[in-house]
Chains A and B, each alone.
Chain A
Amino acid sequence: MEVVPTSVGFAARHWDEQNLDVAAAARQIGESTSHGFTDAVAPVVDRFARLWREHGDRLARRCEEQADGLRAALADYVATDAASALGFQRLISDPGLLLSRGLVEEVR
């Protein structure tokens, strides 16, 4: 049975943050204005902003999928009886791990 370390839970949180940050960047690109450009350039600016918003959103979704995937790996691990027993054994043998916010909280 594979042991999933608590660092996986922390990595999932970081991917959540990246998802938010990149989604914000995508929105920023999408909301950029073509006002101020000449008529010859403005339509291309609009097209660029629209397509790059999509590119950014897609990248943000990949970050979210990473976070979800890591959480799923943790959930699988905790849901397995044998793994739970092993995890419990680790927790009680390592007070630092017990106090850390990683494992159980991430699965919630």
Chain B
Amino acid sequence: MSAVAPPTEVPSFDVAPELVRDTSTAWLAASAQIDDLGTFASGAARVGDWTDSVASRAYHRRVGAIGDRSEAMSLALRRVAQRTGTHADELIALGCRRDDLLARRRRLVVDLAAWQIASAEAATPQQRTDADATANSLSAAIADFDSEVVRWTHDLRVEEQAMVRELERVLELAAVERLYGGVPDPADPALHTFPGAGATPSEIRSWWDALGEAEQGALIAASPGSIGNLDGIPAAVRDEANHVRLVRDLADLRHTVEAGVASDGERRRLENAEAAHDALMEIEGRDDLVTAEPVRSSLYLYDPDAFGSDGRIAIAAGDPDAADNLAVLVPGLGTDATSAPEQAARALDLYEAARMVAPDESSAAMAWIGYDAPSGADSAAVVREDMAADGGRRLADAIDGLRASRSGDPAHLTVIAHSYGSTTAGHAAHDGGLAVDDLAFVGSPGVGGHNDDVGDLGLERGQVWAAANSRDPVALLGDHGWINLSTLNGAGMGDDPTEDSFGAQRFRAEDAGRGDRPSLEQHSRYFDPGSESLHNLARIVVGDDGDVLRAEPKHDPLFGGPHDPEWDRRPTPVPTR
């Protein structure tokens, strides 16, 4: 009887690729900061009206030297940072291969044990012949496995050596100067071909696709602000660029605050950056219900200085580039960039609810704080539609951008608009058209004065949904019956979309904890896990219209106030996670 050696042990592999990627992003952000110094030295640092003295000539010589040094350093650091990102990818791939090897080894050990028992118990010549044949095939399989372990170990060593070489080649400044001094930045020619201000998202996508990989990588590192918020650029690229900006802002602004020299604007900017960071952590801290992997996050929009420091931020749970179903949440009154963690939590709850009702489909949910919603000092503007009209244009552009940035099949795309966000979405649909499959209004104070029914939104009745918790006082603010406040000096925000005359499909959104009277608290219950509303929104997001729990619309008779059939219905809790 032949002997069979057991399979080799798989080497240990103690790595954390996500931390390696964090290091890559931190170095990319630092390289962008140093690159900015180079840009400053070649432009604003030159004092054009101070040139005719010994002191000024010496100053400008030093400016040139600092500019050259910073440009070489930023290129060297960028290259190391990018290679570190590749290293993180390689570690992930090696980890997957190792997982396969571990599984394969477990099977071989079981087969080996079975063979040992069978060969020990072999009594007849035929049984011994069969055991020998099994031994031969098992030995071959183990030898193949052992070779694969050797190959894996070799590949790991090769990758480690490549990473070490990359780091060691630019440890000293002399090497940095020698290797990168005077080397042109590949970002520069890409920036020279940058599309003009009027370019459509499709044109921007075409421009991006035409760039080489080196140019794309250089732009993300050297000019993240130019592409991070550009509609038409793929969400994954925007996320990468915006992460570079965010990490740079956090390092820079925290340092400035610690040094005690931060202005009010810088403090506000830091507040917005911290909010974006917290929102990302909110999403990444939870595991996907189906895969048990951390939920993927995407920083789709990051502009902490926008709207007089209110800021613009959009953060998605899931992959907006590839998800079968994509929901965009448009928030309302009181929202600014500092609301990002709370809004991201809502997006995450919706993402989970969508995963629960359609586990075989991929979904993504984005919290879009992309317009100047009434908040803080301008909260009084909530009674007007001008901020909604401007926000509507931005929303329509954002949706066009999401459509254009995808390579594969178009997503089933739903806009879910809450509160004043529904006035904004109403304007987007009416004023310029909204390229969505479904549009859902929740807790709406009115969907814009020009929208008398779903036909004014440019959508079919089957595409428009509306929900109003019967105890939500904000949802009572819309126009009912023949009354049209929006014609009275622009007061009011248009029709209630849950009324029968509007023609939207009303769905259930009662809260199990509601009281006997309207309460403002009920206005914030539409995205609560376990609620009728969240369940129905998830069904709409995945296109499962038949299973949406419908509600009777409100009705306003000619005499007397509006009647809401939902007032007396007992709410039904629905699991959403």
Contact = CB atoms under 8 A, between A and B. Distances in A.
Given A11-B45, A35-B16, A51-B171, A22 B33 contact: yes
B63 A66 contact: yes
A96 to B, nearest CB: 15
Contact of A20 (B13, B55, B59, B261): B261
A36 interface: yes
A27 B255 contact: yes
Contacts of A5: 47, 49-50
Given A21-B33, A24-B255, A48-B167, A40 B160 contact: yes
Interface residues of B, number: 60
Given A18-B37, A20-B256, A32-B26, A59 B69 contact: yes
B19 interface: yes
B395 to A, nearest CB: 34
A28 B29 contact: yes
Interface residues of A, number: 45
Nearest to B52: A2
Interface string A27-44: 111011111111111001
Contact of B66 (A21, A40, A56, A66): A66
B23 A33 contact: yes
B59 A55 contact: no
Interface in A1-28: 2, 4-5, 7-8, 11, 14-15, 18, 20-28
A78 interface: no
B528 interface: no
Given A8-B47, A24-B256, A44-B167, A14 B15 contact: no
A36 B160 contact: no
A62 interface: yes
Nearest to A40: B160
A7 B33 contact: no
B463 to A, nearest CB: 46
Contacts of B27: 29, 32
A11 B47 contact: yes
Main secondary structure of the interface of A (DSSP, over half): helix
A24 B252 CA distance: 5
A93 B15 CA distance: 69
Given A18-B37, A36-B18, A41-B163, A2 B63 contact: no
B148 interface: no
A23 B255 contact: yes
A103 interface: no
Interface string B44-82: 110111101101100100110010011001000100100
Contacts of B16: 35-36
Contact of B164 (A33, A41, A52): A41
Contacts of B73: 55-56, 59
Most buried by A among B29, B30, B171, B259: B30
B20 interface: yes
9 contacts: A2-B52, A8-B47, A22-B33, A37-B20, A40-B160, A41-B164, A44-B164, A45-B167, A59-B69
Interface of B: 13-20, 22-23, 26-27, 29-30, 33-34, 36-37, 40, 44-45, 47-50, 52-53, 55-56, 59, 62-63, 66, 69-70, 73, 77, 80, 87, 91, 156-157, 160, 163-164, 167-168, 171-173, 176, 247-248, 251-252, 254-256, 259, 261
Q: Which 5 A-B pairs have the closest CB atoms?
A: A36-B19, A36-B16, A24-B255, A25-B33, A25-B30
